[in-house]
Structure 1
């Protein structure tokens, strides 16, 4: 199997970087690590995301093979989102980045203040 080249502007790996660099995708992926969640649970866990943006993010992540959407035939219908194996494989690297962000947020903000 061929590997991509992120420094080649024509390489589709740039699309993958866009996906994993999107804050909403990262937050969805980190949220789903604990198991399946419904839309309202995800929205509440993430906070600050509009329903429209969350819907678009979930659709894109499903198209990319990072999560699955399961509709249960109930009244009212119940929909759950679950990470795929591919999505779970991305959790480790993203949780490291998220941890780094949490540990260094105050230093970053302090540095930004210097330029205000």
Structure 2
């Protein structure tokens, strides 16, 4: 299996796969492979399959549904906006400071 070859190559370089944190996401958009037939193992231990995971701030789903990622990004955007408006709309702060903050 290619995963075992990859693990062995990493081990030769002094790296190892943390099996406790390793999960996999199977994307089968055309429905050809049955998920029950697909089982991934590393050194005999079964790797947990997940339906979505977060990678570089993006939620990657196993299907074509991106609604959860879109909702998450909108929520983060509104949180940042609320944090910024508290500073940008404060009349007690000098305009130069506000310009510097807005430039971040």
Instruction: Assess same fold via TM > 0.5.
Output: no
TM (norm. structure 2) is 0.26
Say which structure is richer in helix: 1
TM (norm. structure 1) is 0.24
Higher radius of gyration, 1 or 2: 2
Q: Which has the higher contact order (CA 8 A, sep 6+)?
A: 1
Say which structure is richer in strand: 2
